[in-house]
Structure 1
Amino acid sequence: MVRVHKLILQNLPRVSNGKTHQSPTLSDKRFFPQLHPMKSSKLPKWILWLVALAFLWIAYPCARVAFFLISDPIPDEKPRVEETNFIDDASGMNQTRHSGILELPADFNQSVSLLRLTLAQALREGKKIIPFGARHSMGKQSLKENAIHVNLRELRAMRMEDRLLRVQAGARWSQVIEFLAPQGLAPEVMQSNADFSIGGTLSVNAHGWQPGRPPVSSTVEKIRILTADGILKTCSRTENQDLFRHAIGGYGMMGIILEAWIRPVRNEILRSSHEITTPSEFLNLWVKMKKEPVRLAFGRLSVAPNSFFERILLVSYVSTDEASRSSVGVKTGFATSLSRAIFRASLGSERGKNFRNLMEGVAGGEAGGTHPRANLLFEPVRIFANKDPDKIDLLLEIFIPQEKFSDFVPIAAHLLRNRSDELLNVTVREIARDTDSALPYAKEKVFGLVMLFTLDRTVNAEKKFGDLNRDLIECALDHGGTFYLPYRNHASSSQLNRAYPELDSFLAAKGSTDPQSVFASGFHDYLLAARKEPVGNP
């Protein structure tokens, strides 16, 4: 109350020298200007222009994503239709004339009998035979000029035998996952996509994104393979060991893998987490991450201009100790469509790549949250695949010893910076040492860098891509690394022999198992040419 009285007294008229002076009031602008706002004034035009430009800068990548969301939806699954006289692989650049496509029936015994007749015919007529599954390789591993091409896709029966999955070679991993998931099981090691065939996966000895695990061969107990003499042989680490070593990762050159016994694991429910780090700190963070019960993990190098190869998103999936018996299905809803739009909209756009980098850093990749293991492995290639007929998606993969990773990345960044428009994705996965196959790419614990490019479908673009690939391979070799063989055959003879010093002994085993080279491919021709050339040849 004292303050109120004082304020009242202060506002009463004062008398001095016979004159009355009015004390200032709240309405007097001379004394209380802060209580009387100034007249509104317009902002300078340059500020308005800056605000508008900032809005457009932010709106452009969003509008671009919206455009791709509408104009470039997830493609439908379409079976690959063979041409009458030609066949191709996933590169779309290896159209090859064939001498007939043998469609094997679903009945296993009938297929074996038919293959034996075909082998006899091929030997009589001097023809070659090459099996194929999903044909996701890119360097004629499943193609051969004027050869008989054997389609295994109908051989897809599977059943459980004790704790092993007995599966025929034509089955896709998607079919395997659909079979295993309701039983509370899932594959232990497989690629990040489920389109590939079992036979194809074993033939390239693919790796997965399961940390601390060797390639898929480590989960295979035994196989059955039809060799050039027409004999169906069972191979394992204790029976026909040498053939087992050369058939897995043998690219179909030792015979036709028809069946495999593979070890599955529990279909655990996994919870994702993510961190952002740098190449120099990536290994330390990876080692720290593995102290948890991590079942799946990958790194993703930034391809955004503002952080190109300078930051890595590390995504891991930790077991919740719970399991799922739910069925699986391909997710093509809005969230998946949006992920595809953000991904494809980054092609050829610096701001698109920066925007994608920002969104992935916030969300932790495309599959953040909690998911059963089987669901995470069920994604098909088509979700993120290119649909432009004038362009083609091509892959390459480099393997680097883990302790050399931080040294390799800056050099690779220098080589790739001028191709950053075409480079869409670089994932990093751990592969433990391969002790099973005769042509190992993981000779020690390595990080595999899988690089996805979308190129113009032209001879010139392919030539430039080949030059880049050789530069990256040379850099990998300088760091004690290797490269993956299922992709484009760009490596020079010298590079091939340096990366795979086991090549001579592998081809010698091929000669012993198949003296007339009845099982042959364009890739086999490439290996033979490399062996004949001097090792010092560039």
Structure 2
Amino acid sequence: MKVKWIILCLLIYGTAFYSSLHVYSRQSVTESAEDAGKLLPVKIKYVRDVHTTKDIQGWIKEARENGETISIAGMQHSQGGHTLYPNGTLLNMTGYSKILKFNPLDKKITVQSGVTWADIQEKINPYGLSVKVMQSQNIFTVGGSLSVNVHGRDIRYGSLIDSVDSFRLLTPDGTIINVSHKENSDLFPYVIGGYGLFGVILDVTLELAEDELYQHRSGEMDYSDYENYFKEKVKQDDSVKMHLARISVAPETFLREMYVTDYVLADQQDKKEKHSELKEEQIIALPKFMLGVSRYSDWGKDLLWETQKEYFLKNNGKYETRNNVMRSDSGFMEYENPNRTEVLQEYFVPVDQFAEYITDIRAILEREDLNLLNITIRYVGHDEDAVLSYATDDMFALVLLINQGRAKQDIEQTERVLQKLIDVTLDHDGSYYLPYYSYPSDKQLKRAYPRIEEFFDKKREFDPEERFKNLFYERYGK
């Protein structure tokens, strides 16, 4: 009898030990993760590679049962922790990438959210169709682009929310709902531009445009002439469909000299067949080298600016399809350094305040230490469909590329300078873009986005257990 009790105790102890070991090992599984900014490395408990809807539903159920959090990632080019949350489950959506339905006659396509814009271009280009709105590069996922409500070079279609027909959302309780302007319409302006805080965007139906042929019209000018040029030569000319500008960050011409490229509708019959093939990746060794030199010297910045300007002006008169304009190569910007990184900031300023704004930010940047590598300028028309709209007027968007250190003192130094720039931007009735590192203060966030509390309240109402979280929400939503 005594032996039986000993055996039973051993069995109970062994079972308990195995269970506790299993739980411990399950809890201690961690993996390092970071976004493209490389300033917010975190330990993630699980990274789940998504392939099916059933996968996601299972992991949401598991997270609910265990009281865990979920964050959602595509290409992770948002740089403010929007795809990360410590000790939670990260859904890697890049494998959830099927094109589900394509109707060329209706000019619509339905895709899973892990599909890239490049995937869509490959599918629709043979049919003479193009995307309406996307970033200047095509490497990003559709779901990620919706989550930040992107805009691009197109000046006629607005931000991405305007070209979304509908989408399916996997909610925090694991159910799937359809969202459109007619169905669950109250969620539409929250989820698009919602930074993954309302659930998982499963698949999206997008409206498409004609893949038109454009001719480049390039020129250079002083910054003080740009506002009138845009109003008279670009905005009022219906034949101009897309637009891009850059302003110099080179010491010799700092924030004074500009060059512009307008994409003007060309003769579709004569030229389109010769240019419709999608361009492949170009040689990037030289621009990559020159950008590298500009990171560490003023003469390198001067050289890069003159070379870039000469290249774009030389392309004056060049023909290019809409799909190829939206196929820019960003490979030359890839940057690996154990002690430094490159971050983006994007500021929006009303068109009629551009010259005064540039004068004011130049006064700050000429006396501050900020390694500014590039400023690209785009246009986005007034569009307040999204709750967190950044285009409360007709705006110029200035995209800043900044090289900085990763150490605490470097982050604090960049924060100090950028908060000054943001104050100037807000004083000019402007705003800033939310997908980047959380340098702005709480006060600046509320000035730029007066509906931010409404946004966070809706998130907590829709997701009361706060199942979906990220570092952006942790920083500002609490």
The Cα offsets for residues 360-399 of structure 1, whole Å up to 9 and x where unpaired, read as 3333269662222212212243223224443311100111
Structure 1 residues 420 and 318: alpha-carbon distance in aligned structure 2, compared to 1, 3 A threshold = farther
The Cα offsets for residues 117-137 of structure 1, whole Å up to 9 and x where unpaired, read as 222221221111111111101
Where do residues 373-384 of structure 1 align in structure 2 (5 Å cutoff)?
373-384=322-333
Instruction: Pick the structure with greater CA Rg.
Output: 1
Report the secondary structure of 1:507's partner residue. Answer: helix
Which one of the candidate residues 164, 182, 187 is aligned to 2:108? 164
> Does the aligned pair in 2 maintain the 1:85–1:99 contact within 8 Å?
yes
Which one of the candidate residues 137, 146, 163 is aligned to 1:202? 146
Aligned to 1:307: 253
Which one of the candidate residues 120, 133, 136 is aligned to 2:61? 120
Counterpart check, 1:360 vs 2:302: no
> How far apart, in 2, do the equivalents of 1:292 and 1:118 lie?
49
Task: Give the AA of the match of 1:232.
Answer: I
Where do residues 263-278 of structure 1 align in structure 2 (5 Å cutoff)?
263-278=207-222
Where do residues 460-479 of structure 1 align in structure 2 (5 Å cutoff)?
460-479=409-428
> How far apart, in 1, do the equivalents of 2:60 and 2:407 lie?
37
Counterpart check, 1:298 vs 2:239: no
Aligned to 1:177: 121
Deviates more, 1:442-451 or 1:456-465: 456-465
Task: Give the AA of the match of 2:378.
Answer: R
Structure 1 residues 420 and 189: alpha-carbon distance in aligned structure 2, compared to 1, 3 A threshold = farther
Aligned to 1:102: 48
Counterpart check, 1:346 vs 2:346: no
> Does the aligned pair in 2 maintain the 1:367–1:376 contact within 8 Å?
no
Per the TM alignment, residue 170 of structure 1 is displaced from its structure 2 partner at its CA by 0.3
Task: Give the AA of the match of 2:415.
Answer: G
> How far apart, in 2, do the equivalents of 1:86 and 1:191 lie?
28
Report the secondary structure of 1:480's partner residue. Answer: coil
Per the TM alignment, residue 202 of structure 1 is displaced from its structure 2 partner at its CA by 0.2
Per the TM alignment, residue 421 of structure 1 is displaced from its structure 2 partner at its CA by 6.7
Counterpart check, 1:330 vs 2:280: yes
Task: Give the AA of the match of 2:152.
Answer: G
Structure 1 residues 522 and 102: alpha-carbon distance in aligned structure 2, compared to 1, 3 A threshold = same
> How far apart, in 1, do the equivalents of 2:380 and 2:157 lie?
6
Task: Give the AA of the match of 2:214.
Answer: L
Aligned to 2:262: 316
The Cα offsets for residues 226-262 of structure 1, whole Å up to 9 and x where unpaired, read as 1112221111112111111100000011111111111
The Cα offsets for residues 485-506 of structure 1, whole Å up to 9 and x where unpaired, read as 0001011111111111101111
Per the TM alignment, residue 294 of structure 1 is displaced from its structure 2 partner at its CA by 1.6
The Cα offsets for residues 135-156 of structure 1, whole Å up to 9 and x where unpaired, read as 1011110000111111111111
> Does the aligned pair in 2 maintain the 1:386–1:454 contact within 8 Å?
no
> Does the aligned pair in 2 maintain the 1:185–1:265 contact within 8 Å?
yes
Report the secondary structure of 2:133's partner residue. Answer: coil
> How far apart, in 2, do the equivalents of 1:487 and 1:225 lie?
24
Structure 1 residues 137 and 363: alpha-carbon distance in aligned structure 2, compared to 1, 3 A threshold = same
Task: Give the AA of the match of 1:128.
Answer: T
> How far apart, in 2, do the equivalents of 1:133 and 1:200 lie?
6
> Does the aligned pair in 2 maintain the 1:303–1:420 contact within 8 Å?
no
Report the secondary structure of 1:471's partner residue. Answer: helix
Aligned to 1:448: 397
Where do residues 388-427 of structure 1 align in structure 2 (5 Å cutoff)?
388-418=337-367, 422-427=371-376
Deviates more, 1:454-463 or 1:406-415: 454-463
Counterpart check, 1:91 vs 2:47: no
> How far apart, in 2, do the equivalents of 1:199 and 1:149 lie?
15
Task: Give the AA of the match of 2:77.
Answer: H
Which one of the candidate residues 511, 516, 537 is aligned to 2:465? 516
Q: Percent identity between the aligned chains?
A: 28
> How far apart, in 2, do the equivalents of 1:421 and 1:489 lie?
17
Report the secondary structure of 2:202's partner residue. Answer: strand
Please tell me the root mean square deviation across aligned C-alpha atoms, in Å.
1.9
> How far apart, in 1, do the equivalents of 2:39 and 2:45 lie?
19
Where do residues 2-17 of structure 1 align in structure 2 (5 Å cutoff)?
none
> How far apart, in 2, do the equivalents of 1:169 and 1:486 lie?
18
Structure 1 residues 205 and 193: alpha-carbon distance in aligned structure 2, compared to 1, 3 A threshold = same
Task: Give the AA of the match of 1:183.
Answer: Y
> Does the aligned pair in 1 maintain the 2:156–2:241 contact within 8 Å?
no
Task: Give the AA of the match of 1:360.
Answer: Q
> Does the aligned pair in 2 maintain the 1:431–1:447 contact within 8 Å?
yes
> Does the aligned pair in 2 maintain the 1:268–1:321 contact within 8 Å?
no
Task: Give the AA of the match of 1:191.
Answer: Q
Task: Give the AA of the match of 1:411.
Answer: D
Per the TM alignment, residue 356 of structure 1 is displaced from its structure 2 partner at its CA by 2.6
Counterpart check, 1:145 vs 2:86: yes
Aligned to 1:57: none
Q: Which runs of 5+ in 1 are unaligned?
A: 1-82, 106-110, 530-538
Report the secondary structure of 1:223's partner residue. Answer: strand
> How far apart, in 1, do the equivalents of 2:117 and 2:338 lie?
27
Per the TM alignment, residue 187 of structure 1 is displaced from its structure 2 partner at its CA by 1.2
> How far apart, in 1, do the equivalents of 2:314 and 2:360 lie?
28
Per the TM alignment, residue 429 of structure 1 is displaced from its structure 2 partner at its CA by 0.7
> How far apart, in 2, do the equivalents of 1:128 and 1:364 lie?
47
Counterpart check, 1:233 vs 2:182: no
Task: Give the AA of the match of 1:124.
Answer: E
Which one of the candidate residues 68, 71, 89 is aligned to 1:130? 71
> Does the aligned pair in 2 maintain the 1:128–1:518 contact within 8 Å?
yes
> How far apart, in 2, do the equivalents of 1:352 and 1:212 lie?
36
> Does the aligned pair in 1 maintain the 2:135–2:153 contact within 8 Å?
yes
> How far apart, in 2, do the equivalents of 1:311 and 1:420 lie?
21
Per the TM alignment, residue 346 of structure 1 is displaced from its structure 2 partner at its CA by 2.2
Structure 1 residues 341 and 149: alpha-carbon distance in aligned structure 2, compared to 1, 3 A threshold = same
